Chain A
Amino acid sequence: MKKRVPGGVIFFLGSLLALATLPQESMADSIGFASWGGAFQAAQNKVIVQPWSKKTGHEVKNFSYNGELAKIKAMVLSKNYEWDVIDLEAGSAHVLCEEGMLERIPESFWEGVGGKALFLESAVHECSVGAVVWSTIFAYDSRRVAPEEAPKSWKEFWDVKKFPGARSLRNSPRGNLEFALLADGVDRNDIYPLLRTKAGIERAFRKLDEIKPHIKKWWSAGAEPPQLLADGEVRYSSAFNGRISEANKNQGQQFVIEWNGQHVTLDHYAIARGNPKKKRALELIAYSLSASSQREFVQEIPFAPVRKGVLETLPKSIQNQVPTADVHGYPDLAIQADEQFWMVYQEELTERFESWKLRSTAH
């Protein structure tokens, strides 16, 4: 060691290195828009984000995520807001709201967009604003199963004798408990009252016991079911309706959706609590609610609009692709997700579901 580097310099460089790994402050003037990626976010970007950006001159940065709520909580705790408008599953939005992690939506916002009455009841919430209506359905590949030989209800989905083949369901109690009760012959209107009782929960899990040996895969990501079906890994799988349509449209798949017993829910837009860009974020959300962008959005991707009366102005061919079309038996054959129920019981039931999965079915 001939030439000594002064210790101070080394320390300084080291600290700089450490600093560089810390998260950066997001750009002061742009808006961060976080959603689920894929065709869904592409549609949001085309119909809502870019036009709004052009109109107002504010730059919008797209982020995609997989519904991890920890990141949002961390933003609130660290007051470092990378995402300004966040697309969340309604259930998650309500959980975050309950925990005080979201900004409240002011009454003036709703007045500004023409009043709450113009929108679905399920789209109006204390901390979030409905984005789209979607549903969990089951689907199969028509190249492997002829539609006339496929199950037509959750009851038949459960019937592995008549409709043999491996199944896949979502790795969550949400939706599955409802489907199990429906398969057990419970009227759709009695599902949530029943699930609020101990006996109802027992009954749902007992019904799930029946199908468990035939569940090849408990899927977590929305992209999994189309893959499982395309690969022939399972014959029937529950899925998000948008993912199935997307695979049919973009990958040339010939999947068929069975809408009977669909579990209907929403995505909501929300703003993390304490975000200094709340006002601008609300402007972007308000833009998404306009009749024209709502109408355009349905044409991009088959999710139902949250604004009433929009769907009816579209051609039948488009109307019939969305979950809430009457050709799908909506609302008589659909389960409307009870977000209040899931807000309260999600945690307890998830724990029980995980425990149930672990135990072998043989009693």
Chain B
Amino acid sequence: MSQSSSRSLFLLTVPLLVTTVLTLLAPIVFLFRTALYAPEVSRGLPRFVAALEADTAAVPREEVFRVLAEDLGRRKETFEHGIVIKPIRHQDLELWKMLKGILRVLPEDPSIAEISSWQRWFSEHDSRWESANTWRRLRRVIQPVTDFYLLEAMDLKRDGENALVWQEKEKQLFLGVLLNTLEIGGVVTLLCLLLGYPLSLYLASLSSRTARILFLFVLLPFWTSLLVRTYSWILLLQREGVVNGMLAALGLVSEPLPLMHNRFAVYVTMTHVLLPFMILPLFVVLRNIPSPLTTAAASLGASPWRSFLTVTLPMSVPGIAAGSLLVFSIALGFYITPALVGGSEDTMLSQLIALNVNSLLNWGRAGALGVILLGTVMVLFLSVTFVLLSRMRWNPLAGELR
């Protein structure tokens, strides 16, 4: 191939490159940014933040109180006070309520208000403004770069001395949900593998005509909307659903089995939805294992079971790895299915991300949760790749044939 044609081939990939940057890399950068960077306070109250940083006293002098009043007054006038103090609300609700209290009573234009001592004015409204504790906390929450959201996403926080401590018990949430998410992802991957491997093996052994027809059944659900598939499982598994109806009609159960709105339902539905993602890569790899290899194994006296264990299985490892990674990483991002078919203890991380993005509007926390999820997937992906690569070196046959 000439150089110019390889250049035009490269140009063909430019749209994909642009799309990847726009839809994948840019959001990831944005994700990290929202998780770590909350510049609203320092940008919205610039003179106050500068004055407070210049003043090292435990309770600052009059000047700092005055510029705080003026900066807040200016933001109140343009109706931007809410967004400016929002990061404080996330990090320290009490402090936020104190600032809201000040905003409520602030005179129209503080810079021309006849107030001799702003310090006294602040403490008359709320004596906590005199306390060093208030100012120590305030100094912390005005920082534009913060690890608060990331720590929060790991159920950690900083105490008064800036040391890392666990969140109070009744607020601990995110690690539990992360574990839930990994557990659900892991079990679903395993189920997909257990169901998908024999099927792929069977499909790979068929003539391509038959395989194509049977593949239609694998792909058919693939083309159906996720919601429709989820709802059909609800119809099947609910208390008065098809399955319980049949069991009752056969006299096998006297009480309907609890099949819906629990972990079992989450596993069944997600496995059904994700199964094609396991079968497709497995099928491709299994199909490409040269059949003379198994024939050779048989002619050398290997039982079918032994030939499977020593030839087919090792050679299908790349397919297992690809399918499992695909299923696992897609499973980690599920949130509609567990919300519809799960019970109270089946919350997955993406549900909390959606909650924070859509209803609570806490994008900092959502970003941090996204970073945690992304980090987990990356670590898993890299370790599987590493294991696989070292395995390839160890298994020369598989390495050569690829």
Contacts and interface: CB of A to CB of B under 8 A. Distances in A.
Interface of A: 1, 4-7, 10-11, 13-15, 17-18, 21, 67-70, 73, 92, 95-101, 104, 166, 171, 205, 212, 215-218, 220, 231-233, 344, 346-348, 350-352, 354-360
Interface of B: 4-5, 7-8, 11-12, 14-16, 18-19, 22, 79-83, 86, 89-90, 93, 97, 170-173, 176-177, 180, 238-241, 260-261, 339, 343-345, 347, 352, 355, 357-362
Contacts of B347: 354, 357-358
6 contacts: A10-B15, A218-B344, A347-B89, A354-B352, A358-B180, A358-B345
B360 A346 contact: yes
Contacts, number: 117
B8 A360 contact: no
Given A7-B8, A10-B8, A67-B359, A100 B170 contact: no
A350 B170 CA distance: 12
A358 B173 contact: yes
A252 to B, nearest CB: 18
A217 B358 contact: no
A231 B240 contact: yes
Contacts of A352: 170-171
Contact of B97 (A18, A344, A358): A344
B83 A99 contact: yes
Nearest to B358: A68
Contacts of A11: 11, 14-15
Given A99-B83, A205-B170, 13 more contacts: A7-B7, A14-B15, A17-B15, A67-B359, A70-B361, A98-B82, A99-B82, A100-B82, A216-B261, A233-B238, A355-B171, A358-B180, A358-B345
B172 A355 contact: yes
Contacts of B261: 216-217, 233
Nearest to B177: A358
B79 A100 contact: yes
Contacts of A100: 79-83
Nearest to A215: B344
B344 A70 contact: no
A233 B239 contact: yes
B31 to A, nearest CB: 14
A226 to B, nearest CB: 14
Contacts of A68: 358-359
Contacts of A350: 355, 359-360
Contacts of A344: 93, 97
